[in-house]
Amino acid sequence: MRVVNLQLENFGSYEKLEFSFDRGLILIQGPTGAGKSTLCDAIPWILFGKTAKGGAVDEVRSWAATEPTKGIVWLQDITVSRTRGAAKDNDLVFWPTGGEPTRGKDMADTQRLLNQRLGFDLSLYLAGAYYHEFSQTAQFFTASANVRRMICEQLVDLSLATKLTARLKDELRSLKKQQAESAENIAKHKTEVETCRRLEEEAKRNSKDWERLYTAEIKELTAKSKNFDAAKRSAIKKLQHESDAWADARKEEVKELNQAIATARADIRPDDELLYEERRLAEAKLLAGELTCPTCGGPAHPEERERLVRWEIQLDTKRRLSQQRTADVEKIERQLKQALSQINPFATRVTAEEARENTYDEQIASLKRQTNPHRARTAGYRANRLDASMELADAEASLVKIEGIVADYDVLSDITASYRSASIQYTIEAIQARTNALLAGYFDGEMRVEFSADDTNLDVSITKDGNEATYTQLSKGQRCMLKLCFGLSVMKTVAERHAVKFEQVFLDEALDGLDEAFKTKAYRMLEALALEHESVYVVEHSEGLKALFENKLTAELVDGRSQLCRS
């Protein structure tokens, strides 16, 4: 990335600044609070909305200004403009040289699009182009082992591994879903196969039962048809016999009733006969009553009187019997009438039997027209079972296939993870080698570092003159030396690993803590750095070091506002 120009308005201590980037090693000097570091903040703020020290987007809005803060940076092939003020003024826009401006659906989206277009984010920019005592690389040696590992991971170009991991994760998620669906399908088809098999068995049993009943029925009807005439004759004969027996029984009954009537009638005396006898008895009684015994003066002829009493009793008995028999005759005559009115039930049955036709052949023909309904059902269930079995086989085959792919993807995931680890390891080794090379090349190699990393941690071991030393055992100047060599190694590694070289590099008071002699040594290193970048801006207070720089920028406050001038 090459920065060509910069324009600022109401940016921190700067009211207005137009700045073109020079080439070479350039000193930024000036008194405390003059605006040196503010200049270093301009690029990260315009590109990412943060200062180099991680300050929030509105931290650079000039305290005194009423107008919005604005920054425009012209890169080699793209221009970016950021404005902060009242909510309505806030804006971020970028456009390629001679092209149309791009804004996302909101600021965050524009930022995402810009990062995409640039090909790096804030942390990569700062690691590759900026160094001061609070920057992440400078904090590396005091950070915890896992934060150190994270810092290194940010420096590695893991885009392929990240892309692969994300794709594999997505694919595996989709495959796991398909796997679950296949397993569900298999269970469903197994149930279907089993259900169809049970129904098929049941239909087969029903079919057999139906055939058995059908055959038996045909057999029975055929036999009935064959025996029809003989059976009919025999039935008629039997019914005729019963009819005759019934008629005989009725005849006998009528005869008996007639006899009973005759017998009863024999005891019935006509009324005039009984009346005549009554009259004769009365006359006899009258005659016998006038006879008186001349001796005793009592009734004469007692035998006669006795005969008359008996006669009266007999007459009374005759009358009663006659009445009784008359009632009997009436009753028996009713019975007789009823008996005579009865119709012989067997006679109609005989007629019906005589008229009965042989319908068994028709029934047989009708039966023969029937088909076994269970056969079609059996065939239907069999077809369903076969379909379900095919689907089951397909689902099982698809599951095997998915499991195969999942296994392949698992292998690919392991390879990706190994590739990721190897990339990180390779980067760590490169940074280690560069740091030691800088320490050896510019600071007599009195210190060396060794990094060892696992999946989560990165440990550092330091040797000073061959002695193992902790970071805190090092002097302030030694720590400064170590951090600076590490920071510059990181810059180079970022350029190498990410194919994004930041041509403008800023070192803000990077040599603070070194004595004049070491500052001079460091200057040689900066000279070498300037050969690798278009411009290296160094903020420095040391008068001794300042004298070494040919190109100088001076920041100063005029009426409380920062101004820059080349000297």
Ligand X SMILES: Nc1ncnc2c1ncn2[C@@H]1O[C@H](COP(=O)(O)OP(=O)(O)OP(=O)(O)O)[C@@H](O)[C@H]1O
Q: Could you tell which of Mg ion, ligand X, none binds residue 12, using a CB distance below 5 to 8 A set by kind?
A: ligand X
CA distance 397 to 387: 15
Which residue number, 61 or 204, has a Cβ lying nearer to ligand X?
Answer: 61
Cα–chain center distance at 135: 48
Using the minimum distance from each CB to ligand X, give the nearer residue, 36 or 434: 36
Residue 541: CB minimum distance to ligand X, A:
7
Q: How far is CA 13 from CA 10, 72, 552, in A?
A: 7, 17, 20
State which residue, 304 or 512, has the beta carbon closest to ligand X: 512
Q: How far is the CB of 41 from ligand X (least distance, A)?
A: 8
Sheet of 69-75: strand order equals: 14-20, 3-11, 69-75, 78-84, 91-96
Does residue 436 touch Mg ion according to CB under 5 A?
no
Kindly state the tokens that stand for 507: 């070192």
* Amino acid in the structure at residue 119: G
Q: How far is the CB of 151 from Mg ion (least distance, A)?
A: 23
Integer angstrom CA distances of residue 460 from 420, 485, 529, 565: 20, 15, 25, 43
CB atoms near residue 469 (< 10 Å): 15
Q: Whole-angstrom Cα distance, residue 244 to residue 235?
A: 14
Applying CB under 5 A, the span of 34-42, 107-115, 120-128, 155-163 interacting with Mg ion comes to: 34-42
CA 337 → CA 252, 328, 504, distances in Å? 14, 14, 145
Judged by CB under 5 A, does residue 535 bind Mg ion? no
Distance CA 504, CA 25 (A): 10
Task: Give the interface segment with Mg ion, choosing from 29-37, 173-181, 379-387, 405-413 (CB under 5 A).
Answer: 29-37
CA dihedral 313, 315, 318, 323 (to 10 degrees): -100
Measured CA to CA in angstroms, residue 179 lies from 172, 175, 265, 300, 394 at distances of: 10, 6, 112, 144, 13
Decide which of Mg ion, ligand X, none touches 44; Cβ closer than 5 to 8 Å per partner kind: none
Judged by beta carbon distances under 5 to 8 A according to partner kind, the member of ligand X, Mg ion, none in contact with residue 221 is none
Residues 489-508 that bind Mg ion (CB under 5 A): none
Q: Which is nearer to ligand X, 12 or 49 (CB)?
A: 12
Instruction: Count residues near Mg ion (CB under 5 A).
Output: 2
Residues 6+ apart with CB under 8 A from 396: 186
Binding segment (CB under 5 A) for Mg ion, from list 31-39, 173-181, 212-220, 380-388: 31-39
- Among Mg ion, ligand X, none, residue 33 binds (CB under 5-8 Å by kind): ligand X
Comparison of 200 and 540: residue with beta carbon closer to ligand X: 540
For residue 479, give the nearest of 468, 470, 490, 488 by alpha carbon: 470
- Contacted entry of Mg ion, ligand X, none for residue 378, CB cut-off 5 to 8 Å set by kind: none
User: Which CA distances in Å does 305 have to 294, 295, 310?
Assistant: 17, 18, 9
CB atoms within 10 A of CB 303: 7
The answer to whether 37 contacts Mg ion (rule: CB under 5 A) is: yes
d(CA 167, CA 329): 121
> Which of the choices Mg ion, ligand X, none does residue 555 contact, using the CB cut-off of 5 to 8 A by kind?
ligand X
Which of Mg ion, ligand X, none has residue 128 at its interface (CB below 5 to 8 Å by kind)? none
Name which of 37 and 504 has its Cβ closer to ligand X: 37
- Determine the Cα–Cα distance for residues 183 and 345; give it in Å rounded to an integer: 77
Q: Which is nearer to ligand X, 61 or 103 (CB)?
A: 61
Whichever of 394 and 556 has its CB closer to ligand X, that residue is 556
Q: If contact means CB under 5 to 8 A according to the sort of partner, which of Mg ion, ligand X, none does residue 467 touch?
A: none
Q: Cα 125 to the chain's mean position, in Å?
A: 44
- Is residue 343 helix, strand or coil? coil
Q: How far is the CB of 539 from ligand X (least distance, A)?
A: 7
Q: With respect to ligand X, which residue has the nearer C-beta, 114 or 555?
A: 555
**Least distance between ligand X and beta carbon 546 (Å):** 13
In the complex with ligand X, the residue whose CB is nearer, 60 or 239, is 60
User: Which does residue 13 bind out of Mg ion, ligand X, none, counting CB within 5 to 8 angstroms by kind?
Assistant: ligand X
Q: Given the complex with ligand X, which of 12 and 487 has the nearer CB atom?
A: 12
Helix spans in 49-158 (H): 107-118, 122-129, 145-155
In the bound complex, what is the minimum distance in angstroms from residue 438's beta carbon to ligand X?
25
CB closer to Mg ion, 139 vs 389: 139
Residues forming the site for ligand X (CB under 6 A): 12-13, 30, 32-38, 60-63, 555
Name the region of 559 (left: φ>0; alpha: ψ -120 to 50; beta: rest).
left
Q: Which does 505 bind (CB under 5 to 8 A by kind): ligand X, Mg ion, none?
A: none
Q: Which does 28 bind (CB under 5 to 8 A by kind): Mg ion, ligand X, none?
A: none
Contact region for Mg ion (CB under 5 A) — 20-28, 35-43, 335-343, 429-437?
35-43
The least CB distance from residue 555 to ligand X, in Å, is 6
The residue among 13 and 137 lying less far from ligand X, judged by its C-beta, is 13
CB of 76 to ligand X, least distance (A): 26
The residue with its CB nearest to Mg ion is: 37
Nearest in space to 483 (alpha carbons), one of 128, 149, 142, 125: 142
Tokens of 182: 């296949």
CB of 542 to Mg ion, least distance (A): 14
For ligand X, which is the closer residue by CB, 99 or 544?
A: 544
HEC sequence for 272-335: HHHHHHHHHHHHHHHHHHCCECCCCCCECCHHHHHHHHHHHHHHHHHHHHHHHHHHHHHHHHHH
* CA dist 254 → 205, 250, 333, 378, 470 (Å): 63, 6, 10, 69, 146
**Of Mg ion, ligand X, none, which one does residue 34 interact with (CB within 5 to 8 Å by kind)?**
ligand X
Q: What is the DSSP string of 468-527?
A: EE-GGGS-HHHHHHHHHHHHHHHHHHHHHHHS---SEEEEESTTTT--HHHHHHHHHHHH
Considering only residues 365 to 394 of the shown chain, the ones binding Mg ion according to CB under 5 A are: none
The identity of residue 265, as a single letter, is: R
Residues in the site for Mg ion, rule: CB under 5 A?
Answer: 36-37
